[in-house]
Chains A and B, each alone.
Chain A
Amino acid sequence: MSEYVPIVALLLIGVLLGVGLLGISALLGPNRPGGSKGAPYECGLIPLTDARNRFDVKFYLVAMLFILFDIEVVFLYPWAVLYRRLGVLGFVEMLVFLSILLVGFAYVWKKGALEWEA
């Protein structure tokens, strides 16, 4: 566990640095709000709607597919580490696992879930 101590140290350095940098700006920089300075930048046009509009469901689909493939990759890591010790059995195991998932990948592809144009 002790090997994680310097990582916590790096985390603290990051937090302090981030807060410090923003703090420097807050301390040294002037602060004169007001006027049209506060309007969101839209190349000179006056913003008509809130920026946080609903966005395309495609992004949502990508996020879901990402989770599923991410889990698949996670399973592959311990397998890859042990692969040369697992021998033929390891190869067959992963072939079965991956073939089932490749069916899913083919389905996703075929259904056009990876198309971005439409």
Chain B
Amino acid sequence: MDGTGLAISLAKAGFVAFLLLNAVPLLVWLERRGAAFIQDRIGPNRTSIAGFALAGLVQPLADVVKFMFKEDFVPPSANRTFYLLAPIITLIPALMTFAVVPFADVVRIGERLVQMQVADLNVGILYVFAIASLGVYGVVLAGWASNNKYSFLGSVRASAQMISYELSMGLSVLGLVMVFGTLQLDDMVRAQGARLFGVLPLWGIVLQPLGFLLFVISVFAETNRLPFDLAESEAELVVGYHTEYSSMKFATFFMAEYIAMTTGAALIVSLFLGGWQVPFVSSETLNGWTADLLGPGAGSWLAALIQFGSFSAKLGFFLWLFIWVRWTLPRFRYDQLMRLGWKVMLPLALANLLVTAAVLLVIDGAAGR
């Protein structure tokens, strides 16, 4: 890799980190205002800077300031090293998984074609699962190091839940992998630009409706969001594994959760909803229009911007879905959760896999491949 290439790829990594970090206060705002809206309240709207409350958007800012000046407290009975390490360990994988998600088509910089994706790895989606599987450590360590019974119970529950749903998450995307014949998300998004009968966008959700459903449920479970938030369950475990955490240490857990949620939604969008594809307008057509307007260089930027907008809109919808579901559904009981994971999701995902395999065999056989 030459100097310019290195600079570009580092810039992309920085951009993604910046994006994810800024998504956090926005999501906090959306969560609180959304909850208020669903419960027919107003929600936070008083905090203001020089009279501007920005519909409550200043509130997360005030929260951050409060977190910073809170007492930096470590329970004396806790295991200090692991107690402090846990939030960091939770944050790192959350930040890293977004790396393989593409957010726009190729952009032209001079002679160079730059992929709008931090890293186009051969193992693609497997990288996401690999790094995400490390998220368990932060939760377990936090609960274990806190020396609090609620925390410990919460973390043990959470880890069993996370590993159980990891299976159905991994299995549910296999159907798509079979159809597209690749693990690379960029190739998958590109393949979803095709049309069914020349009309309907051939998105993953059309090809794999059951896979989509299973994957979305698994993402909810993996991010510990309601109805799968048994790790936290305010009423019985007093927020579980981070009961003993305060100040920025608590905020770090919070950030990691929202970043993981964003990445989860981005994965759903990229796998099943065409990622950055603009519905009904192929990337070639779009690039043709913008190139006529601004020339090939700047045109590719405009096209990428439009595609990024399309990606963000879909992402926004799913982030809203996370919040919507949280304030609508009650929590599962633990035995129900485990039964759903092992006795419903896992067999369904396996059945989906075999049916997809059989159908593909027939289709490819008919096409004479």
Q: A residues touching B (Cβ–Cβ < 8 Å)?
A: 2-7, 9-11, 13-15, 17-19, 21-22, 24-26, 28-33, 37-43, 47, 50-53, 55, 59, 62-63, 66, 69-70, 73, 76-77, 80-85, 87-88, 91, 94-95, 98, 102, 105, 109, 114, 116-117
Do A41 and B243 touch (CB < 8 A)? yes
Do B183 and A81 touch (CB < 8 A)? yes
Q: Name the segment of B43-51, B87-95, B198-206, B284-292 touching the other chain.
A: B87-95
B330: interface (CB < 8 Å): no
Specify the chain B residue showing the minimal Cβ separation from A32.
B71
**Shortest CB distance A30–B (Å):** 5
Do B17 and A13 touch (CB < 8 A)? yes
**Main secondary structure on chain B at its contact with chain A?**
helix
Q: Name the segment of B52-60, B215-223, B245-253 touching the other chain.
A: B245-253
Interface bits B15-47 vs A (CB < 8 Å: 1, else 0): 011000100000000000000000000000000
Do A76 and B182 touch (CB < 8 A)? no
B76: interface (CB < 8 Å): yes
With known contacts A18-B252, A70-B167, A114–B150 Cβ distance under 8 A: no
Do B149 and A47 touch (CB < 8 A)? yes
B72: interface (CB < 8 Å): yes
B121: chain A residues at CB < 8 Å are: 3-4, 7
With known contacts A13-B17, A29-B72, A43-B238, A82–B181 Cβ distance under 8 A: yes
Do A55 and B156 touch (CB < 8 A)? yes
Specify the chain A residue showing the minimal Cβ separation from B97.
A10
Do A40 and B148 touch (CB < 8 A)? yes
Interface residues of B, CB < 8 Å — how many? 88
B360: interface (CB < 8 Å): yes
A-B contact pairs, 20 of them (CB 8 A): A6-B118, A10-B118, A14-B94, A22-B84, A29-B248, A30-B72, A38-B77, A40-B148, A40-B244, A41-B243, A42-B149, A51-B151, A52-B144, A52-B152, A55-B156, A76-B353, A84-B369, A87-B364, A105-B346, A116-B335
Specify the chain A residue showing the minimal Cβ separation from B78.
A40
**Shortest CB distance B90–A (Å):** 8
Within 8 A of A (CB), among B137-153: 144, 146-152
B296: interface (CB < 8 Å): no
- How many A-B pairs with Cβ below 8 Å? 212
B266: interface (CB < 8 Å): no
User: A88 touches which one: B72, B118, B361 (CB < 8 A)?
Assistant: B361
Do B181 and A33 touch (CB < 8 A)? no
A47: chain B residues at CB < 8 Å are: 149
Give Cα A88 to B361, complex, Å.
Answer: 7
B182: chain A residues at CB < 8 Å are: 81
Do A40 and B147 touch (CB < 8 A)? yes
Do B147 and A109 touch (CB < 8 A)? no
B73: interface (CB < 8 Å): yes
Do A81 and B181 touch (CB < 8 A)? yes
A41: chain B residues at CB < 8 Å are: 148, 150, 238, 243-244
With known contacts A55-B156, A114-B339, A29–B252 Cβ distance under 8 A: no
Supply 6 further A-B pairs (C-beta < 8 A) apart from A29-B248, A63-B160: A4-B121, A5-B6, A24-B248, A30-B71, A41-B150, A84-B178
Do B357 and A25 touch (CB < 8 A)? no
Do B181 and A83 touch (CB < 8 A)? yes
User: A109 touches which one: B76, B151, B343 (CB < 8 A)?
Assistant: B343
Do A5 and B95 touch (CB < 8 A)? no
Within 8 A of A (CB), among B142-187: 144, 146-152, 156, 159-160, 163-164, 166-167, 170-171, 174-175, 177-178, 181-183
Give Cα A4 to B119, complex, Å.
Answer: 7
Give Cα A13 to B369, complex, Å.
Answer: 47
With known contacts A77-B174, A81-B177, A25–B12 Cβ distance under 8 A: no
A2: chain B residues at CB < 8 Å are: 1, 5
B68: interface (CB < 8 Å): yes
User: B146 touches which one: A51, A62, A81 (CB < 8 A)?
Assistant: A51
B255: chain A residues at CB < 8 Å are: 21
With known contacts A6-B118, A19-B88, A51-B146, A25–B152 Cβ distance under 8 A: no
B280: interface (CB < 8 Å): no
User: B163 touches which one: A4, A9, A62 (CB < 8 A)?
Assistant: A62
B96: interface (CB < 8 Å): yes
**Shortest CB distance B233–A (Å):** 14
Give Cα A28 to B93, complex, Å.
Answer: 27
With known contacts A38-B76, A40-B149, A25–B70 Cβ distance under 8 A: yes
With known contacts A25-B68, A40-B148, A13–B13 Cβ distance under 8 A: yes
